[in-house]
Amino acid sequence: MAALCYRDGEAGPEVLLITSRGTGRWIIPKGWPMAGKSGSGAALEEAWEEAGVRRGRVNHDAIGSYTYDKRFNGGYAAQVETLVYAVEVEQMCKTFPEAHERTRRWVRPDEAANLVDEPDLKEILCDFEDEALVQSA
């Protein structure tokens, strides 16, 4: 489950990127399904743990999915598909569980699409910008 966290910025919609712990690549908060939580609930939990999003309104329907290579201890990797849920950020905290392991950055969706590696996530970000611009018109 992944969280595409967004807000209204001064120059239009912005999305939140974080760095991965292993390689420092730009990603969005993501993780595994959680017992007792819906997909959107798990995405919101990941947004808190990895990015400090304390409160947000989450869309209960996924806006898309993408695949990425998950690297495991021991050096092997597996391709994983994750659902993406949009989270409108209402409050963020400076201290959160993974604050010392990650960097956060708010950017426009088109810039985010240029920073992430995963082709399907790039497409979601580009589509999200188009949707956000249509909704704000």
| pLDDT band for position 113 (cuts 50, 70, 90) | very high
| pLDDT band for position 131 (cuts 50, 70, 90) | low
With 50 as the cut, is the pLDDT of residue 137 above it?
A: no
Kindly report, residue by residue over 22-38, the tens digit of the pLDDT. 889 999 999 999 999 99
Per-residue three-class SS string for the chain: CEEEEEEEECCEEEEEEEECCCCCCEECCECCCCCCCCHHHHHHHHHHHHHCEEEEEECCCCCEEEEEEEECCCCCEEEEEEEEEEEEEEEECCCCCCHHHCCEEEECHHHHHHHCCCHHHHHHHHHHHHHHHHHHC
Query: Hey, where are the domains in the chain?
Result: 2-136
* CATH numeric code, 2-136: 3.90.79.10
pLDDT at 75: 80
Higher pLDDT, 134 or 112: 112
pLDDT at 130: 58
pLDDT at 57: 93
Whole-prediction pTM: 0.90
